Amino acid sequence: MSNSFLSTYTLPNGIELKNRLIMAPMTNFSSHSDGTVTEEEVNYYARRSNGVSMVITACAYVTPNGKGFHGEFGADKDEMIPSLEKLATRIKEQGAKAVLQIFHGGRMCPPELVPNGELVSASDIPAENGGVSTEEPDKKPRALTEAEVEDIIQAFGEATRRAIEAGFDGVEIHGANGYLIQQFFSPHSNRREDRFGGSLEKRMTFPLEVVDTVKKVVQEHAKEPFIVGYRFSPEEPETPGITMDETLALVDALSNKGLDYLHVSLFDFFSTPRRGVEDLTKTRISYLQETINDRVPLIGVGSIYTAEDARKAFETGVPLLALGRELIIDPDWVQKVTDGKEDEIVTEINKDKQEELVIPDPLWNAIINTPGWFPGV
Which residues participate in catalysis according to the annotation? 179
Helices within 255-353 (DSSP H only): 284-292, 307-314, 325-329, 333-338
Which residues are within 8 A (CB) of 157 and not within 5 positions of it... i.e. 6 or more apart?
Answer: 213, 214, 216, 217
Rounded to whole angstroms, the Cα distance separating 273 from 278 reads 10
Between CA 263 and CA 232 the distance in angstroms is: 6
**3-class DSSP assignment, residue 170:** strand
CA dihedral 59, 62, 64, 67 (to 10 degrees): -20
How is 41-60 classified by DSSP, letter by letter?
HHHHHHHTSSSSSEEEEEEE
Burial of 375 (0-12, 13-18, 19+ CB in 10 A): middle
* CA dihedral for 26, 27, 30, 34, sign (positive or negative): positive
Alpha-carbon dihedral 88, 92, 94, 95, rounded to 10 degrees: 150
